[in-house]
Structure 1
Amino acid sequence: MPDKDAGTPRVFLYRHGQTEWSQSGRYTGVTELELTTNGVQQVLASGKILVGAGKLMDPKNIARVFVSPRRRAAHTFELAFDEAEQRLLKEAGKVSTTDRLAEWNYGAYEGLLTKEIRALRKDHGLDGERPWDIWADGCEGGESPAEVTARIDSLIEEIRALHQGNMHGENPSDVVLVAHGHLLRAFTKRWLGYPMDFPLSMMLEPGAIGVLSYQHHSIDEPAFLVGYGFPVQE
């Protein structure tokens, strides 16, 4: 972060590692899938570089860790932080599981590919004018964009209350979200104040970490970091 923004609270978006369905492109909401061997290595690699004392995600700067209720997210947290770091965070009451970070409920589209979803919707007489877009249309038997927005906004409100008064690093106030591809991209849209159907194309690879913060130390100027200068290693 530039020197002028040093101390500004951050929100780290930690996507879980690869599963068989994320590898094949199948929509994975409530289905419990384990990380693949490659998924485990993805999280270990990012954690080794970015998590720990003196690194980007330094436990001493973390105020809260919110984890999705899905096992693949919990496993990612367990891999990213070593046992001592996990124990310290948990003993301080900083780690919690929340349904607000569960992946989008895909309903009838669970386990399907995009092309299969669009074919199904065509059979149902939907999308005559344009192809299905989850950000605008939601999921049959699952969640609508408005429902996902409501639960994300609730979490953002809680995070902003934590950050208020700590915009210059007065207290440790970094937040870590361990969750899923669609959900974390949806969170980014809402963090920036955009509606779900706003055309903001985003990519977040399995095991990757994104960063949100604020401009000018202002709670009213939420932003995302396109690039990041990492801490100097002694």
Structure 2
Amino acid sequence: MTKVTPRCIIVRHGQTEWSKSGQYTGLTDIPLTPYGIQQMKRTGKSVFSNKFINPEHITYIFTSPRQRARQTVGLILETLTEEQRSNIRIVVDEDLREWEYGDYEGLLTHEIVQSRKSRGLDQERPWNIWRDGCENGETTKQIGCRLSRVIARIQNLHREHQKENRPSDILVFAHGHALRYFAALWIKNGLEEKYDTSFDPPSATYDDETVPNVTMEKYRYLVENPYFLLDAGGMGVLSYAHHNIDEPALALAGTFIAPPEEESQHEPVVA
């Protein structure tokens, strides 16, 4: 039996009126547009009919609690049979909500920049959300902490599934800033680490007894723009090098899966 490396497939929700206009949409709970609905129906049909994702390999779906993300989950799974859908555990995870933008909710980037400039801010360097966060919203350390928790839970599940020799695709449905941040944390590229977990809430932010909570001694956060793009309705794939859960990696081929005879570069490293 061919060894299948676990994957974390990230999916940004379909188009909304604010994703279309470019307005910052954090806690504002708006639905998909008619275009966004059809967009995600087509995406679901394509990824399953083309075998980019084998529905039998999906072990979990983690989703933001916002309706635009949860609506996208239903549309992606629409073409699956009732039996296939019943085998996929869906976890609503508050940690996957979008960046809390505070005073910047509903604004465009140039409006935020102009507002800050008019109040004498950013004299020495331009505002950078990845480093500076949002006024009366979340800091980069706060969102970094909660997304680090999600990653720890997913990688722990992958580790257990790999021990069982069980194929495991875990799908994560969330938002533009959150998923770009999530991907940067996953590959651990150019990040700061913090050992103070004082933001960590006393209880988990999801309710599923099959997902063990992972206690963290440290978490990672961004200090610069990771320069990742993910449009509304976009999909990306995160996985592991050499079948090793301790080597998280970005799968540049996306959801495309190479045939087994082309996978030699993913073989475990022999000491």
Larger-gyration structure (1/2): 2
Q: In the alignment, what sits opposite 2:53?
A: 57
1:120 equivalent in structure 2: 115
Structure 1: unaligned runs, 5 residues or longer: none
Give the alignment of 1:1-234 within 5 angstroms. 7-51=4-48, 55-82=51-78, 85=81, 88-89=84-85, 91-92=86-87, 94-167=89-162, 170-194=165-189, 195=191, 196-228=222-254, 229-230=256-257
After superposition, the Cα gap between the structure-2 partners of 1:75 and 1:86, relative to the gap in structure 1 and judged at 3 Å, is farther
Inter-CA distance 109–86: structure 2 relative to 1 (3 Å threshold): farther
Q: Which runs of 5+ in 2 are unaligned?
A: 192-221, 260-271
Counterpart secondary structure, 1:34: coil
Work out whether residues 66 and 96 of structure 1, in 8 Å CA contact, stay in contact via their aligned partners in 2: yes
Of 43-52 and 155-164, the range deviating more from structure 2: 43-52
Letter in 1 for 2:73: F
Query: C-alpha deviations, 1:20-59, integer Å up to 9, x for none?
Result: 111111100011111112111221121111136x722222
Any conservation in 2 of the 1:167–1:218 contact (CA below 8 Å)?
Answer: no
Distance 1:9 1:122 in 2: 46
| CA pair 34-9 structure 1, distance change in 2 beyond 3 A | same
> Which amino acid letter does the alignment assign opposite residue 227 of structure 1?
A
TM-score normalised per structure 2 = 0.77
Indicate the larger mover: 184-193 or 160-169: 160-169
1:162 counterpart letter in structure 2? L
Displacement, 1:82? 1.8
Query: Identity, % of aligned pairs?
Result: 42
What SS does the aligned partner of 2:106 have?
coil
Q: Which gives a bigger RCO, structure 1 or 2 (Cα 8 Å, sep 6+)?
A: 1
Q: 1:150 & 1:40 partners in 2: Cα distance?
A: 32
Query: Structure 1 length as normaliser, TM-score?
Result: 0.89
Change (3 A) 1:160 1:192: same
Aligned pair in 2 of structure 1 residues 86, 144: CA closer, same or farther (>3 Å)?
Answer: farther
Note if contact 2:44-2:79 (Cα within 8 Å) is conserved in structure 1.
no
Counterpart-to-counterpart distance in 2, 1:205 and 1:158? 25
- 3-state DSSP class of the match of 2:91? strand
Aligned partner letter, 2:249: A
- For residues 59 and 212 of structure 1, the distance between their equivalents in structure 2, rounded to whole angstroms, comes to 17
Matches of 1:92 and 1:122, distance apart in 2: 52
Structure 1 counterpart of 2:33, one-letter code:
T
Alpha-carbon distance between aligned partners in 1 of 2:141 and 2:156, rounded to the nearest angstrom: 22
Q: Compared with structure 1, are the counterparts of its residues 51 and 178 closer, same or farther at alpha carbon in structure 2 (3 Å cutoff)?
A: farther
Give the letter aligned to residue 137 of structure 2: G
SS in 1 for 2:243: coil
2: distance between equivalents of 1:21 and 1:39?
12
C-alpha separation in 1, matches of 2:73 and 2:162: 26
8 Å Cα contact 1:11/1:176 also seen in 2: yes
- Give the C-alpha shift of residue 200 in structure 1: 2.5
